[in-house]
Amino acid sequence: MTAQRRLGIVTLVVMLALAGWSWMLLRDAGQRDRPTGIVDRSPLEKALAVHAQPRAPIPPDPTNRLADQARAVALGERLFFDETFSSSGTVSCATCHDPAHAFTDGERTARGEAAGTRNTPTILGAARRRWFTWDGRADTIWSQAAEPIEQPAEHGFDRTRFAVAIRDDPGLRRLWEAACGPLPRALDAVPAGLSARPALAGEAAHAPPAAAWSQLPVDQRAAIDAVFSSSMKALGAYQRTLDMPLSAFDRWADAVGQGTVSMDDESAGGIITPAARRGWLLFSGKANCIQCHGGREFTDGEFHNLGLPAPDGRLGGDPGRRGAIARLKTDPFSSAGEFSDAPDGAEARLVRSLKDDPETWGQFRTPSLRGVALTAPYMHDGRFASLAEVIAFYDTLEGAIALDHHREAVLQPLGLTAPERHDLEAFLRALSPERLSGSLESAG
Ligand code: HEC
Ligand code: HEC
């Protein structure tokens, strides 16, 4: 065989193979285009299957060495409900995160020592979040607690009085030392009644508590910070025990996953109402809420700008995520900060890699929708009193600011019928546990 003929045969074989392959591709494409119920439904079935899996435990927190220690939980619980740590002696974490209100306050915006500007989120399940608060300026549940203690509108307190209160109360001191070890010696020299803390964001360095802080000897400051940060870690340990219980929706998803109920069964096996089942189909289908509220916790854990207008119809005044990254990067209590127990861990590396970006102006964290029926009012500023109002907003986007590139392109008016709105609400209600009390007995 000449080289030329051999080349000819090889070329022929390659051409035949290519022809056969393209025929197969065309045939497959044709099949894909053919509308069959199964092909249309599978994304919904996949979305539901996520909820049929056993729920993962609350993830570990390597930045907090006390995260899972029983004595730290006991100390944290005491601190959470103790009103000593406030300027008037009347505010505790539970003032706003009240167990009787699913660890919220039921108010539009929070009120501690003074009026705040944001709505109080629940603590239930909070330890599952990647970022904390509406703008994500904290990256661990324990570090989040440092801010309300010193904020004038919340506890209006300071770390020095906090540490001294523990030193001078024998019962509290015993609890503290059992959880965290002996109090640092240098704390003994700190005068009782001294109010001192670093300057707050935007506060002058000569403001009284900030000036007093800069005058304290370095070893006393270090002792106060050590007591304060360990106390925050104990608060974190306690809050890690507060999970949002599973709901009727989880039981239905589980039954569908087990094959005992079909997703198409309109009665939903009697586990959730027919309206809630239809609401789920809308949520994951036509209304596409799962774009942001997807996954096991019904949140993407990310930040979005929904274009919510201020009361005067103009752009809202809360910058949201804008600026939060800069604060996180300089926060000594962050996972990358000097009090972290894993300053080189994955969380810390993520914080160091974040970039503050003007595009994040007006973005807020997508809240989890678990237990949402228990935590009215809604949104970062509590503007909507009911779930019906939230749904009406998404349905019409009435008043929403079209911020050209700022507002999410994914939000489009949905044009729901009245029964569809009702179904969507029934679904959101099915995400809330029927009872909280039983599962929260340990919450004190
Ligand atoms: C005056 C009411 C008030 C008090 C007191 C208060 N909080 Fe909060 N809490 C809020 C508000 C409001 C937010 C949302 C803040 C924001 O987005 O800027 C919040 C957010 C949180 C979050 C984040 C939850 C999430 O889903 O991101 C945690 C955790 C938390 N608080 C724990 C505590 C602890 C612990 C204490 C006590 C040391 C405390 N809070 C005291 C009102 C309060
Ligand atoms: C583009 C992402 C996105 C989409 C799509 C979306 N949401 Fe949201 N959702 C958010 C964000 C962000 C917030 C918080 C906004 C704020 O506070 O300013 C929120 C808030 C909510 C709240 C209030 C929860 C609370 O605790 O305050 C509910 C309820 C809700 N969404 C339901 C829905 C429903 C139902 C749909 C579908 C019709 C939907 N969302 C679609 C991002 C989204």
Q: Which residue ranges make up each domain of the chain?
A: 70-239, 248-322+357-443
Q: Which residue in this structure is represented by tokens 């509406």?
A: 134
Report the chain's C-alpha Rg in angstroms.
27
CA distance 365 to 209: 32
CATH architecture group of domain 248-322+357-443: Orthogonal Bundle (1.10)
- Residue 290 DSSP label: G
Residue of 123, 281, 292 with the most ligand 2 atoms within 8 Å of its CB, for mutation: 292
Residue identifier of the C-alpha nearest atom 19 of ligand 2: 366
Atom of ligand 1 nearest to the CA of 131: 27
- Longest CA span, the chain: 103
Q: Which residues contact 226 (CB under 8 A, 6 or more apart)?
A: 184
Q: Name 365's bridge partners.
A: 303
User: Does ligand 1 have an atom closer than 6 angstroms to the CB of 110?
Assistant: yes
- Best CA proximity match to 386, nearest among 395, 394, 396, 376: 376
Q: What is the pLDDT of residue 7?
A: 57
Helix (H, G, I), strand (E, B) or coil at 276: helix
- Best CA proximity match to 431, nearest among 374, 360, 370, 359: 370
Answer yes or no: same fold for 70-239 and 248-322+357-443.
yes
Q: What is the pLDDT of residue 444?
A: 35
User: Does ligand 2 have an atom closer than 6 angstroms to the CB of 376?
Assistant: no
Atom of ligand 2 nearest to the CA of 377: 27
Q: Would you write out the chain's pLDDT as a tens digit for each of its 444 residues?
A: 555 666 565 555 555 555 555 545 444 444 444 444 444 557 888 899 999 988 999 999 999 999 999 999 999 999 999 999 999 999 999 999 999 999 999 999 999 999 999 999 999 999 999 999 999 999 999 999 999 999 999 999 999 999 999 999 999 999 999 999 999 999 999 999 999 999 998 888 888 999 999 999 999 999 999 999 999 999 999 999 999 999 999 999 999 999 999 999 999 999 999 999 999 999 999 999 999 999 999 999 999 999 888 777 777 788 999 989 999 999 999 999 999 999 999 999 999 999 888 888 899 999 999 999 999 999 999 999 999 999 999 999 988 876 655 555 668 899 999 999 999 999 999 999 987 754 454 443
Class of domain 70-239: mainly alpha
Quote the ligand 2 centre to 428 CA distance (angstroms): 11
Q: Is the pTM of this model over 0.75?
A: yes
Q: Give whole-number Cα distances, 409 to 131, 290, 400, in Å.
A: 23, 15, 12
- Best CA proximity match to 388, nearest among 378, 380, 398: 378
User: Does ligand 2 have an atom closer than 6 angstroms to the CB of 287?
Assistant: yes
Residue identifier of the C-alpha nearest atom 11 of ligand 2: 366
CA distance 439 to 86: 29
